[in-house]
Amino acid sequence: MIQHHIEACAQVPGMQEILLIGFYQPDEPLTQFLEAAQQEFNLPVRYLQEFAPLGTGGGLYHFRDQILAGSPEAFFVLNADVCSDFPLSAMLEAHRRQRHPFLLLGTTANRTQSLNYGCIVENPQTHEVLHYVEKPSTFISDIINCGIYLFSPEALKPLRDVFQRNQQDGQLEDSPGLWPGAGTIRLEQDVFSALAGQGQIYVHLTDGIWSQIKSAGSALYASRLYLSRYQDTHPERLAKHTPGGPRIRGNVYIHPTAKVAPSAVLGPNVSIGKGVTVGEGVRLRESIVLHGATLQEHTCVLHSIVGWGSTVGRWARVEGTPNDPNPNDPRARMDSESLFKDGKLLPAITILGCRVRIPAEVLILNSIVLPHKELSRSFTNQIIL
């Protein structure tokens, strides 16, 4: 997911450094990814680990000294869980024409879907954000927050004010020192909602591609958007039908190290990762196959994500339920961020596997497959632990 973010940032003239901020413990795959990104884009790329989950703005304030090192003119802030064509250069031009502490990227959604996002009320002449509400209960505006921002260095001052206010509110009179929760800052509620209408926050509207990535199902939708965009931006990345090669239907990406049998049928909207093996007669559609996976002969995989190192046996069928979280589709069902509610498994919209072996002649529908167990019979609407 973040490969697209890094690639977009690297294309901005004058970009000095790319910082990844998160609470996750860094591991060897992440380290290798960052090293490869540095070499590919000839830019410093570093990961900064928070000491605790600090919200969408707490990490920015906590690592403010590193962000401001080198006295940058401005800095982009990109949420990792979004898909976009990232019009960063256009945002930078808008910022230079009219400098303000906060510039938000916005797009439009229909009235029904707008309730699932942060909603922006703007001045149509000046594009100042007059009102901001995160996931309102009633309709506010059809302009929604994309989670892509351009901040001036002075944008960190309101974050400092929030930190100090949190410290004052949470600190007991007889307890010296810092209150641990003071560092948690929510950009949307603590900063944008509070500063809207004060001449500090502006919005830059885009009509390009955009969606959230909150689940495996929305990742498939994002993959479809990126593959479609490759027709204009990177046509060389899309597979072509060649004599003696697999049959290609629509937009398909195949990693150069993948081995695909000539009788396989791929597409539309398929992405095949590093070191993947696709056997004879395999049918792949609307799916992502992560690195090291093996699809044996005559496998059928539809609307699914096959995890790294997985094996799907001969004649097995893996099928997820298609779900497109399109903000302009009033009938689109937004993905749940949790697999469980009230102790019950919520209906899954795709198949996930991580080092899982699915043997031959198994039919799996609308399920989630978790690591380290072998499937030995047919399952429908279950979770395999």
What are the backbone dihedrals phi and psi of residue 235, each rounded to the nearest 5 degrees, phi first?
A: -60, -25
Burial class (CB in 10 A: 0-12, 13-18, 19+), 253: buried
Contact 5, 86 (CB under 8 A): yes
User: Which DSSP string corresponds to 7-38?
Assistant: HHHHTSTT---EEEEESSPP-HHHHHHHHHHH
CA-CA distance, 290 to 299, in Å (whole number)?
Answer: 16
User: Looking at 132-136, 198-202, 229-233, 240-244, which range is the least confident one?
Assistant: 240-244
What token pair was written down for 322?
């298609």
Instruction: For CA atoms 117, 123, 127, 132, give the dihedral sign.
Output: negative
Residue matched to tokens 């009509």 = 207
How many other C-beta atoms lie within 10 A of the C-beta of residue 37?
20
Which among 341, 342, 302, 340 has a CA at the least distance from the CA of 318? 302
Q: What per-residue string of b and e applies to 108-134 under the rule 16 or more CB within 10 Å gives b? A: bbeeebbbbbbbbbbeeeebbbbebbe
CATH code, 1-212: 3.90.550.10
Note the pLDDT tens digit of each residue in 246-257. Answer: 999 999 999 999
DSSP H/E element including 67: helix 64-67
Beta pairing class for 118-122 and 129-134 = antiparallel
pLDDT at 304: 92
Q: Tokens 């949470």 correspond to what residue?
A: 170
Tokens of 164: 């100090």
List the chain domain ranges: 1-212, 216-380
pLDDT at 323: 73
Tokens of 53: 């989950």
Query: Is 1-212's fold the same as 216-380's?
Result: no
User: CATH classification of 216-380, choosing from 3.90.1150.10, 1.10.10.10, 3.20.20.80, 2.160.10.10?
Assistant: 2.160.10.10
Can you list the alpha helix ranges (DSSP code H) found in 211-359?
216-233
Could you tell me if residue 249 is left (phi over 0), alpha (psi between -120 and 50 degrees) or otherwise beta?
Answer: beta
Rounded percentage of the chain residues whose pLDDT exceeds 70: 82
Query: Cα torsion for 311, 313, 385, 370, to the nearest 10°?
Result: 30
In whole angstroms, how far apart are CA 207 and each of 27, 86, 146? 37, 11, 11
pTM of the model: 0.85
pLDDT tens readout for residues 43-71: 999 999 999 999 999 999 999 999 999 89
pLDDT at 330: 62
Output the pLDDT for position 372.
40
Q: Could you give the C-alpha distances from 295 to 27, 308, 361, in angstroms and in order?
A: 27, 12, 13
Average pLDDT estimate for 204-208: 95
Query: Looking at the predicted structure, is the pLDDT value of residue 371 above 80?
Result: no
pLDDT in tens, 4-42: 999 999 999 999 999 999 998 999 989 999 999 999 999
From 211, 38, 10, 14, select the one nearest 113 (Cα to Cα).
211
pLDDT tens, residue by residue, 309-338: 999 999 999 988 777 777 767 656 665 455
What is the enclosing helix (H) or strand (E) of 113? helix 111-114
**pLDDT at site 385:** 30
**Closest Cα partner for 375 from 137, 362, 269, 37?**
362
- When pLDDT is averaged across residues 205-234 and rounded to a whole number, the result is 92
User: pLDDT value at position 366?
Assistant: 47
The CA-based dihedral angle spanning residues 48, 49, 51, 54, taken in that order and rounded to the nearest 10 degrees = 80
What average pLDDT does the chain have? 86
pLDDT over 90, % of the chain: 71
239: three-class secondary structure by DSSP: coil
Q: Is 228 helix (H, G, I), strand (E, B) or coil?
A: helix
**Range with lowest mean pLDDT among 52-66, 172-186, 262-276:** 172-186
The secondary element (H helix, E strand) that includes residue 59 is helix 55-62
Strands 143-151 and 118-122: antiparallel
